[in-house]
Structure 1
Amino acid sequence: MVAGLLAVVLGVTALEAPAVAGQRVKNTYDGAQKVLAPCIALAMQQESPEWVCTSAGLTSTRRDAHGTPTTTFTPVAATTVPAPDPVSVLADDYDTWCESSGTCHRIIDAQRYIGETKGNATYGDSGGVIGSFDVIIRNSLQGRRGRWTVSLIWDYGPSLTFSDSWINCYEVIDNWPDADCGDHALYPGRISGTNWRWNSPTLYGNFLVNPKPYYAAFNTDFTPGGYSVRALPALETARFKCYGSTADPCKF
């Protein structure tokens, strides 16, 4: 069973992200391992030496004798598990919301100008699960542009160092690859059991001229303490619509 393969790995000492103001005791419920159990089981079946599971599926990396990596992706549907009892940890609910499903989207204001997306990720090796963490993207639309913040929450395992992180804006194109509408770099710190949450500054998107649907995607590499770097599959937000003229605001 997957639960029997869990491995607790201690992180190395290093500079970590600053603690969040008002940060209290970490919520200890980690629903990702239950939600992503089918993906984890597939990783164990394949004896993958490096893997990441999200609600999209399994990303597996193998290296040849020269250390050259080959990465494959296999779609695997996430499951749904009963939600835990509500726990008030922070002024917001980022640590407890959407711990019982793979990826969630919600609109949090009546005018449909603010939306949030949360994704859960679990990673490991051929010995089992090493750790897990959450990503939350908040999009506060401002006229014809997006404004994004990203929160990273450590759930389990060694400390995590994030690198090569950015928000990518996309314009939806029917029957063709979606068009790039801006890359916006992020510089996360390290999260761990001690400093378990990192919040980004606000990123301001480009002015969106075309009357089209749009969305954003968060991309990052991460390195668990004592392990090699891994790539997180892109976490995509819900689509927002910028119809009408350039004087009309975008909405979810």
Structure 2
Amino acid sequence: MNRINKLSAKMASSLLLALSLVVAVPGPALAAPNDAPNAEVSYPKDLQPCIDAALTAEAKQWVCDPSGLTISKDPSGNAVNDFTEIPVKAAVEDLSKIAQPAKGGDHYDTWCETGTICKRKISSYIYDVKGNAAYGNEKGAIGSYDVIVRTNLNGRQATWTVTRIWDSGPSLKFTSSYQRCWEQRAALSPRSCGAHSLTGVTLSSGTYRNVKKIKGNYLKNSNNYKGIFSTKFTPKGHSTYTASNLDTGTFNCYGTSSDICYFP
């Protein structure tokens, strides 16, 4: 009988130990809902007035970029296409004050990280524009990304190098990305001189940038020309967003076929 009591006591002790071990194992953390703002989102401080306007409007889907505030879903979740211009001052970079990158490198990850848009004239034939963007919902910012477009003029043709960069938030699938050319015709409405599509791509912290080079059409008319970048993107776990257009720079192509295009 004593032996049975001892065995029972030993079994009870073992059972209590097993139970204590089970209780001590933490359960899995609850996943955040897809529409929750990301605490790790980073964006330039100059975008804050735009983000404040989006939150005041209680928009369920918005994008803030250099052009202003684009609202795609109103407070009721209805699809809309509302744009509000929020003026920003473009920063013009002094190249003499920028440390030179390693051979074959660039400044894209460090250049223009506090403003919404920056422009720099490398020469009369090379021009860079960088636009920073953030997106989110009525609860706050969800993520951010950058777009850098370098225009390289060769004779009467432009070559655009478009770099799309994931900055923060969930992974981004870029779709319907275009680099467009517009001929500026004084009193007449602009005329298309090319709409060049970019391959869709998904970017995240693992593969955070994509570079695409586009060769534009021959520009025969004596006029000013402008480049425009546009895109849609889908953050993982969310619906598709539409960004406003990014002006990638105006250049002159005056004269005849023997004259070359240049940045004034």
Pick one of 141, 146, 149 that aligns with 1:129: 141
SS state at 2:157 partner: coil
1:37–1:78 Cα contact (<8 Å) kept: no
Instruction: Provide, for residues 76-134 of structure 1, a one-character-per-residue CA deviation record: whole Å limited to 9, x for no partner.
Output: 123799x9x9897982101111122221221113xx11111110111000010001110
Partner of residue 150 from structure 2, selected from 138, 147, 160:
138
Counterpart residue number, 1:108: 122
Distance 1:68 1:126, change over 3 A: closer
SS at match of 2:51: helix
Tell me which of 69, 77, 85 is aligned to 1:75: 85
Structure 2: which 5+ runs fail to align? Answer: 1-35
Gaps of 5+ in 1: 1-5, 11-27
Contact 1:80 1:100 in 2 (8 A): no
Instruction: Report the TM-score, using the length of structure 1 for normalisation.
Output: 0.80
For residue 221 of structure 1, what is the aligned residue in structure 2?
A: 232
Residue 191 (structure 2) aligned to one of 159, 167, 179: 179
- Give the TM-score taking structure 2 as reference length: 0.77
Which residue among 190, 196, 216 is the counterpart of 2:208?
Answer: 196
Give the Å deviation of 1:51: 0.1
Q: Residue in 2 aligned with 1:247?
A: 258
**Aligned match of 1:161 in 153, 158, 173?**
173
1:8 and 2:31 are equivalent in the alignment: no
Q: Hey, what's the Cα distance between the residues in 2 that align with 1:157 and 1:87?
A: 29
Residues 35 and 79, structure 1, Cα contact 8 Å, conserved in 2: no
Alignment of 1:31-50 (within 5 A): 31-32=43-44, 34-50=45-61
Residue 179 of structure 1 and its aligned partner are, at CA, apart by: 1.0
Where does structure 1 differ by over 3 angstroms across 4 or more consecutive aligned residues? 78-81, 85-90
Distance 1:74 1:63, change over 3 A: closer
- The aligned counterpart of 1:54 is 65
* Greater helix share, structure number: 2
Which of the two has higher C-alpha Rg?
2
Structure 2: how far apart are the matches of 1:87 and 1:54? 28
The amino acid across from 1:59 in the alignment is T
Q: Does 1:209 align with 2:220?
A: yes
Q: Deviations over 1:43-98 (max 9, x none)?
A: 01010000000121100122698x862110011123799x9x98979821011111
Kindly indicate whether the alpha-carbon contact (under 8 Å) linking 1:138 and 1:149 is maintained by their aligned counterparts in 2: yes
> Following TM superposition, by how much is the alpha carbon of 1:165 offset from its aligned partner in structure 2, in angstroms?
1.1
**In structure 2, the residue corresponding to 1:247 is in which secondary structure?**
coil
Aligned alpha-carbon RMSD (Å): 2.7
Provide the rounded CA distance (Å) in 2 between the counterparts of 1:195 and 1:224: 15
Higher relative contact order (CA 8 A, sep 6+): 1
One-letter amino acid matched to 2:218: F
Which of these residues, 77, 84, 98, is aligned with residue 112 of structure 2? Answer: 98
